[in-house]
Amino acid sequence: MVNLTLLFLLLALCVASTVQRNLELEEDANVQQNLAQDLQIVHYQPEQVHLAFGETVLDIVVTWNTRDNTNESICEYGIDGIAEQRIKAPHGPSAFVDGGAKKAKQYIHRVTLAELRPNTTYHYHCGSQLGWSAIYWFHTPHNHSDWSPSLAIYGDMGVVNAASLPALQRETQLGMYDAILHVGDFAYDMCNEDGAVGDEFMRQVETIAAYVPYMVCVGNHEEKYNFSHYVNRFSMPGGTDNLFYSFNLGPVHFIGFSTEVYYFTQFGLKPIVMQYDWLERDLMVASRPENRAKRPWIITYGHRPMYCSNDNGDDCANHETVVRKGLPGLNFFGLEPLFYKYGVDVELWAHEHCYERMWPMYNYTVYNGSRSEPYVNPGAPVHIISGAAGNHEGREPFFKHMPPWSAFHSQDFGYLRLKAHNATHLYFEQVSDDQGGAIIDKFWVIKHSHGPYRPA
């Protein structure tokens, strides 16, 4: 009898324990369901905020992402407070679907703050009635050419080993730069993990790009899904899917373009032709005497360089570089003769995970201004590679015997600074992250007249 009583007690305890466990599981399920519902609100919060110049440098485009559709895109901004003005995008956000297996969807928001005051600090935040970003600020440039903008320039920065990111974050928020040029290859790669790597990269650079226009060009690592992450995530001027555009800043006419149209021809030859025609028209206008007198410097930036000294088999180490010479066997649409014809002063590149400065050069021939002052009134464009901002692929090797047109090279991780002092003087310096921010190379490009070079 005692044994039966104990048995009944044990059964009762087991039933009670099971009921309690089921209640706990049900409670956990309710908590998880409620948590999921709560997280749905978090998905409306703006993230990945970044700026770009619009159709003029006094038009600032604010771009951000949300995971779910807020049905509206609003930016509130002002000089003394964010509530002074409010701009609402007329069509709301646009859906962007990653090309991976999960078809992950997010919403891209764009608002243009047009006709801002020059040389003025604005504060802003962005979002919707469902959630707002933090408050950021930016400083507009002057609306004339007689001032000296400062820029940071680099390419090839990922989410792993982003060596230059801390210094760039600090220096940007200290107000050292008027714009950033990121010369291709972002995140490694933005499409990875169904776009999650791209999201993380954009969150990391928000601490730079929410404070200063972040001007970009496309690299080879953006190729997946026909460059869809690059095309959708950024907002460059000109309405050309961000692939080629130009803007004026101080005494400089900047031109960003795609080298990738020459390499990913599975997407067709039309982009090559369209870009080349656009480049020639843009250079023609920029080179008119009245425009060259106002903004004498022309600086281009594209991802894959025409020249390099890297011993890795890349195209730039070959004599007949596709970007330089044009389509193989045809030599159509090569950019070196075009840039030479219109007197491009400096050509900025990345792709190689290094820094390299060349002597003024055209068609593998050095055209120094003089033996003692090679960059004073040079007879050809100056090529600079700065693709060492930080990546997980490693540093690039150099040839054992460097070619005579290579002036300086380094494997250090780092980034380039440009100060456009005036109509005659540009100053460049390369910062080494490996050496704690030391300047490992610096030089001036000085030109007393600008325009087409002498026939080579």
For tokens 């803007």, the residue is 247
Enter the DSSP assignment of 390. B
- State the first-to-last Cα distance of the chain, in angstroms, to the nearest integer: 113
CB 139 within 8 A of CB 405: no
Phi, psi for 24 (deg, rounded to 5): -65, -45
Give the separation between CA 453 and CA 14, rounded to whole angstroms.
92
In the DSSP assignment, the letter for residue 396 is: P
Q: What topology does CATH give the domain 47-139?
A: Immunoglobulin-like (2.60.40)
For the chain, give every domain's residue range.
47-139, 146-446
- Report the distance separating Cα 456 and Cα 217, nearest Å: 29
How many degrees, rounded to 5, is the angle at CA 301 between CA 270 and CA 58? Answer: 100
Across-strand partners of 418?
A: 151, 428
Q: Which of 371, 246, 401, 217 is nearest to 304 (CA)?
A: 217
> Tens-of-pLDDT digits for all 456 residues of the chain?
446 566 556 555 555 554 455 455 455 545 555 555 555 555 899 999 999 999 999 999 999 999 999 999 999 999 988 888 999 999 999 999 999 999 999 999 999 999 999 999 999 999 999 999 999 999 999 999 999 999 999 999 999 999 999 999 999 999 999 999 999 999 999 999 999 999 999 999 999 999 999 999 999 999 999 999 999 999 999 988 999 999 999 999 999 999 999 999 988 899 999 999 999 999 999 999 999 999 999 999 999 999 999 999 898 988 889 999 998 877 899 999 999 999 999 999 999 999 999 999 999 999 999 999 999 999 999 999 999 999 999 999 999 999 999 999 999 999 999 999 999 999 999 999 999 999 999 999 999 999 999 875
Domain 146-446, CATH 3.60.21.10 — does that match? Answer: yes
212: which DSSP letter? S
Q: Supply 253's token pair.
A: 């006419």
CA atoms of 70 and 51, how far apart (whole Å):
20
Q: Give the SS3 label for residue 407.
A: strand
